[in-house]
Structure 1
Amino acid sequence: MTRLLLIPPDTRPPTLDHPAQLARMTGAEVRVPPPEALPDFFTPGDTGTLRTWLLDQAREADALVVCLETLTLGGMIPARRVSDPPATVLKRLAVLREVRGLNPGLRIYAFGVIVRVAHDNDPHEEKPYYGEWGHALRAYSTALDRHARHGEGEWAALDAARSAVPQAILADWVGTRERNRALHLAALELLAEGTLAHLCLTLDDTTPYGLAAFDRRQLEARADDLGVWERLDIYPGADDVPCALIARALRPEPVLAQVRYSGVNGAGAELIYEDRPAGELVRAHLRAAGCRVADTPAEAEFVLAVNTPGTRQASFQPNFATVDTPHRHLPAFVDAVRHDLAVGRAVTLADIAYPNGAERRLWTLMQALPLADLAGYAAWNTAGNTLGSAVAFGKLAPLVRDRAAHAEALFARLVDDALYQAFTRPEVRARLDNPSPFDLGGQRAAAEAQLRELITPRIRALWEHHFGRTGLRLEVGEAHLAWPRLFTGVFPLTVSSSPQRGNLKAQP
């Protein structure tokens, strides 16, 4: 049995529970750090406790999947907020050399997140000043990258953008990025020397122009110098990367996948939170998990069914201008998935037509499918988040040893990505009094009460309709919110093959 250590970017269900579920369904043992070592929203985890835990656990582990920001800065969100100096951060990173010294056979799969330029003026996930200066900082980000690429013709725009932000704020914001870039450059050195088995450096909520793209080019240039591209991926992603690296850790051999789009031009569809079209994003996520596109359907081990927008993603649905257009035909897409399942192919479905939840029209059509027969499903947050989860499901499908654990992982995504994100979350929001997207404040209790009232019967009905004949048993816990905002829900679900289920939870 493989023993896997997981140091996640934070403690939300999609970033901690879901990757652990994927590993457990293969029979692997998953160990995660104690709660006090991990971040809570924007409160950093304890890097000292994390170091002690890692040194204690490493001797008996086969593989480690580690978020560099959690290891060195207390978490993915704290990494954008804390003021820890670069020297301290790099000293914390050195523990990875120590654990390899303790266990030379340990395979370390690491990932770091290139600091995003947030689309929203969020003062909690970013530094507090971002609530006021986010728009101006985004303008500076775009102007600097355009100047770096196109030269003096962009100087006036850059100068104006720089002048629009207080000097102290701009220096602090840029300094945070430079420190985190130094962390990623140091990780590239660890990769080159063999301490890391594989490294992913990903772009969170990125765009074609901006400081994230500027940072990406510098990291790519250093990767060229070091000659490490065979074991390196740099692409749009963040919360999903533990899933990809767990798939790579548990099944290191390359796997071929057939990609089926909902429209014949689906590979060219434009995405909101990524810097490339859908087809290139799919190829990047397949490679990160150790997969590639099959040349013929016959050689593919699984089908990655991707619901893309007609031409471009949109934030709100239905959207008949760029998403639900004649550039795709959803009934035919669903028919193809039905056929694949009927002939016994492993199918994992990635719904990226809209960000932040399933497409409601596709979900309605999917009710005619045997959803319990899917190898995987995802439709959460960005297109990259969805693809990272869906690809991992597909690659690990032949390794499933625990049928109940697989059903739990699959059903959890159906509940969160479709029932909550696409349907229940907008209804809860509509019942509240103009809630802030950043902090519910005194409305959190009312929001959670509404959430439980709406989603609990829907969870039970979905299980009965699609999983009721599987012989498995579902226990439903009390739904609540991960943080004081509606964005992420928590839906405790336990699936077992008998009334007495063994301990399948991630162990500290």
Structure 2
Amino acid sequence: MPSPRRVLLIPPDTRPHTLELPVQLATMTGAAVRVPPVEALPNFFTPGDTEVLREWLLAGAQDADMLIVCLETLCLGGMIPARRVSDSLELALERLGVLQQIKIQQPDLQIYAFGVIVRVAHDNDPHEEKEYYGEWGTQLRTYSTAFDRHARHGAAEAGALDAARAALPEEILADWTGTRERNRALHLAALDLLAAGVLTHLCLTLDDTTPYGLAAFDRRMLEARADALAVWDHLDIYPGADEVPCALLARALSPRPARVWVRYSGLGGAGAEMIYEDRPAGELVRAHLRAAGCVLADTPAEADFVLAVNTPGVRQANRQPDFATVDTPHRHLPAFVDALRADLEGGRTVTLADIAYPNGAERRLWTLIQGLPLARLAGFSAWNTAGNTLGTAVAFGKLAPHVTDHAAHAEALLSRLVDDVLYQAFVRAEVRERLVSPSPYDLGEQRASAEAHLNELMVPRIQQVWEQHFAELGLALSPGEAYLCWPRLFTGVFPLHVQPDND
């Protein structure tokens, strides 16, 4: 029997989606994933220890088959710290050099890397961005849009750019754009490593992006360099971020291209607009399929799996229910659910991505699918941005043929239902209502109270979902105590352990 494939993962941070979910996906296929000591990883906006990470990588790579590495964590201390730290470009590039050093020592080692093009945050968050963003975020976003419009359309946009620049203190604008330029230079250096054969595959993703802005400007510069280097066979540049470890894991552990039939909740679902991406749903789906090593199938019969995508009728909205752009006559959810039932009863491999709303599943869809055998799903995802959701769902589908540990698969699937549906779509708002004007950025002294409410509300609902959908699998569930990953309600942690029931 072949030994399990050995994977080293340096994630963007310590959130469950970026750290625990890739490990769950690997475990269900029998692969062995090692991650750095948690104290060396970034925690919220506190940078990880790049020197410890370097030494850990050098030691672990000696008996690994593949590496999956977040460039921001390796070189700048983490995805969020990369937007805040003042480390020089020279220092970041020196840290990047460890990948070339490892490749020289072990030429057959596969190195999958990913970087995140610096976002222009939609909210004035002083913790995930530099502190001044809390005061100047609106003006910086205006400058970002004006700069890109001027870059694309020329003199007609010069007045708007001048006004946007004049509205900002020079030192703040210089610091903010300088951080972006350093990170872009790091990604350009990663493209050179890809061209040199050091990297097996590279993903450069756009976090919380829009059609116009500095992220779009950066994307075009990176694409131009990719054209010059002729590296597109091993490169993806597209909207995403936190889900990329799962996508690259799927590509690495299942190298054969998978054929995918995409089923949308509305006949025009591919054209639906997203809030945090720069392209419609259909193009976003194609980008995430390619990143994970998948291609579109011509018919459902020839597909390796079905990617069922619940899209908004016209455009995503933040609050449920939304009858103006989401729950509209442009889609028919009962028919979508009927098709899901037919696929599952027909024995097809189905993974469900719910992108009707960002930051949690659509409550109406959850009601409608209660009659389906949800434990038969290959995967489910409905968290954060549409890109985060799609990349996760695709990874589940791509890895489905390789599942050897069915308890681990059930644990990964249940974890998504618990977080993406029970918490994000329902309980998070209920906890917020029990607190006193909580800040979305830092709960402060209310954190302990929030976590107490979290456990009170979540435990019975987790048990209900388990009993309704998973109890007949011959498995046992051992839930742990829930808590918040960071001092805000956005990310909960729900420890679950599923194992064979030996009773």
TM over 0.5: yes
Equivalence for 1:374: 377
Q: Distance in 1 between matches of 2:488 and 2:183?
A: 27
Pair 1:69-2:72 in alignment: yes
Q: Distance in 1 between matches of 2:501 and 2:178?
A: 54
Q: Distance in 1 between matches of 2:389 and 2:307?
A: 12
Deviations 1:363-395 (A, max 9, x none): 001111100000000000000000000000000
Number of residue pairs matched by the alignment: 500
Give 1:36 deviation, angstroms: 2.0
Q: Distance in 1 between matches of 2:445 and 2:196?
A: 51
Q: Distance in 2 between matches of 1:21 and 1:8?
A: 14
Give 1:498 deviation, angstroms: 3.7
Give 1:50 deviation, angstroms: 0.3
Equivalence for 1:167: 170
Instruction: Work out which of the residue numbers 52, 55, 59 in structure 2 matches 1:56.
Output: 59
Equivalence for 1:462: 465
SS at match of 1:15: helix
Deviations 1:464-494 (A, max 9, x none): 1100111000001001100000000000000
SS at match of 2:284: helix
Supply the RMSD in Å over aligned alpha carbons. Answer: 0.7
Within 5 A, what are the aligned runs for 1:443-454? 443-454=446-457
Q: Distance in 2 between matches of 1:391 and 1:314?
A: 23
Within 5 A, what are the aligned runs for 1:85-234? 85-234=88-237
**1:143 alignment partner AA:** A
SS at match of 1:324: coil
Q: Distance in 2 between matches of 1:404 and 1:22?
A: 11
Q: Distance in 2 between matches of 1:307 and 1:173?
A: 37
Q: Distance in 1 between matches of 2:22 and 2:138?
A: 34
Equivalence for 1:2: 5
SS at match of 1:108: strand
Deviations 1:12-55 (A, max 9, x none): 00010001111110000010011122001000000000000000
Deviations 1:309-331 (A, max 9, x none): 00000000000000000000001
Indicate the percent of aligned positions where both proteins have the same amino acid: 75
Instruction: Work out which of the residue numbers 20, 24, 30 in structure 2 matches 1:21.
Output: 24
Pair 1:483-2:486 in alignment: yes
Pair 1:293-2:292 in alignment: no
Pair 1:243-2:246 in alignment: yes
Instruction: Work out which of the residue numbers 388, 400, 407 in structure 2 matches 1:385.
Output: 388
Deviations 1:232-284 (A, max 9, x none): 00000000000100000101111110000000000000000000000000000
Q: Distance in 2 between matches of 1:36 and 1:296?
A: 48
Equivalence for 1:505: none
Equivalence for 2:315: 312
Equivalence for 1:350: 353
Instruction: Work out which of the residue numbers 269, 272, 275 in structure 1 matches 2:272.
Output: 269
Q: Distance in 1 between matches of 2:426 and 2:330?
A: 25
- Which contiguous aligned blocks of 4+ residues in structure 1 show a shift greater than 2 angstroms? none
Equivalence for 1:33: 36
SS at match of 1:201: strand
SS at match of 2:261: strand
Give 1:105 deviation, angstroms: 1.2
Q: Distance in 2 between matches of 1:306 and 1:297?
A: 14
Instruction: Work out which of the residue numbers 406, 409, 415 in structure 2 matches 1:406.
Output: 409
SS at match of 1:144: helix
Structure 2 alignment gaps of length 5 or more: none
1:58–1:102 CA contact under 8 A, matched in 2 = no
Deviations 1:183-210 (A, max 9, x none): 0000000000000000000000000000
Give 1:499 deviation, angstroms: 5.4
Q: Distance in 2 between matches of 1:277 and 1:20?
A: 30
Equivalence for 1:83: 86
> Scaled by the length of structure 1, what TM-score is found?
0.98
> Scaled by the length of structure 2, what TM-score is found?
0.99
Deviations 1:432-487 (A, max 9, x none): 11111000011111111111100111001110110011100000100110000000
Structure 1 alignment gaps of length 5 or more: 501-508
Equivalence for 1:506: none
Q: Distance in 2 between matches of 1:259 and 1:35?
A: 37
Equivalence for 1:361: 364
Q: Distance in 1 between matches of 2:314 and 2:123?
A: 24
Q: Distance in 1 between matches of 2:236 and 2:62?
A: 27
Q: Distance in 2 between matches of 1:90 and 1:9?
A: 18
